[in-house]
Amino acid sequence: MPVSSVAVVGAGVAGLCVASELVAAGVNVTLFDKARGPGGRLSSRRFAQESAVFDLGAPYFTVSGNDCLTWTDAMQSKGVLECWSASSNGPITNCFVGSPRMSALTRELSEGINMKPQTRIVFIQRESGFWQLLDQHGAKWGGFDQVVLAIPPKQALPFVEMYPSVTRILDGQRLDPAWVVMLSFGRMLPVTNTVMHFSSGSIERAIRDSSKPGRSSHLDTWILHSSGAWSREHLDVSPAQVLLMLKNEFKGQIDVKDEPMETAVHRWLYANLPPNAQVPEKSGIEVSDVGLWLAGDWIGGGGVEGAWRSGHYVATRILERIAFH
């Protein structure tokens, strides 16, 4: 099979799955991301003072498809993924977490990939049969046969404006924002469930992060995720104010007066696929017949499983094209 050169823009789960499957098949891949490292919404953060580690993106993920379970089995065999028997006020089956943190999964996926961190691609163009990319510093990256945009729909839109049929799809897609508040307590709070879902108020769910497999903190650490509707309404509120509002609501919900020892807050502009969202028919989008693709959880059905399914779909289609030619 001839070796093709592929650029993947976006080092979240979808982009990493595309890149890792192509690299395993012998394809020359360059992965670009604006962040300092891979992970996207599977990022983690450490509190230096108490060595507590929080998963500030997806706290866990569930899997329903047998195809994705084959992938999770492979990741478990590598020691970077574990089943989590989470207790909740609702059923959670086939629940997985990265070990010792969620970012361990994306670190494993990035092994052996030529990654260009802190490189924001701002423009792409097809010239003389190849794709040329331009980054935020004006540097050019060229000679790519294929380009995969594994980024949220709003960020992908400027790259595909010359393709009306695709822009119409993107115009109809959105990812809800989310505020994430991290709290660490010096004692175990009197809460039975490790995942709590709320049907009203600012908090959509609260997760006892320290209860997940592989976590070694002696603190009781919690992650609070705001609802999509509340996040949209409070998108530009200061982080300090969001922290205060969600922290106080959580304490009221579980009826404790303890103040956390450490706190942090993070805003995701593009976090979750809204409930009942209409997703494209296929798990990846071929923008044109000259090697431009879209991948992401918003195409694959949402969440980590949707991101994996989209990345796997696009990688499979690209390998078919390479084999055909």
- List of long-range contacts for 158-167, beta carbons under 8 Å, 24+ apart: 159/123, 159/124, 160/287, 160/292, 160/294, 163/287, 163/288, 166/285, 166/287, 166/294
CA distance 167 to 294: 12
Q: What is the pLDDT of residues 246-287, one digit of tens each?
A: 999 999 999 999 999 999 999 999 999 998 888 888 899 999
Contact 224, 204 (CB under 8 A): no
Task: Judge if 150 and 80 occupy the same domain.
Answer: yes
- Angle at the Cα of 221 (from 177 to 202), degrees rounded to 5? 35
The boundaries of the domain holding residue 256 are 176-272
Sheet containing 28-32: give its strands across.
114-116, 28-32, 5-9, 146-149, 292-294, 285-288
126 and 251 co-located in one domain = no
Query: Using CA atoms in the order 17, 19, 20, 25, what is the torsion angle rounded to 10 degrees?
Result: 120
Query: Where do we find the tokens 């690299």?
Result: 23
Note the pLDDT tens digit of each residue in 112-155. 999 999 999 999 999 999 999 999 999 999 999 999 999 999 99
Give residue 1's pLDDT band: very low, low, confident or very high (50, 70, 90): very low
Residue with token string 């505020």: 179
CATH number of the domain to which 87 belongs: 3.50.50.60
pTM given for the model: 0.94
The Cα–Cα gap between 32 and 48 comes to 29
Q: Are residues 217 and 75 in the same domain?
A: no
User: Could you tell me if 30 and 72 lie in one domain?
Assistant: yes
Cα angle 258, 262, 263; round to 5: 95
Residue 53 in domain: no
Q: How many domains does the chain have?
A: 2
User: Using omega within 30 degrees of 0 as the cis cutoff, is the peptide bond preceding 38 cis?
Assistant: no
Q: How many residues does the chain have?
A: 325
Same domain, 113 and 71: yes
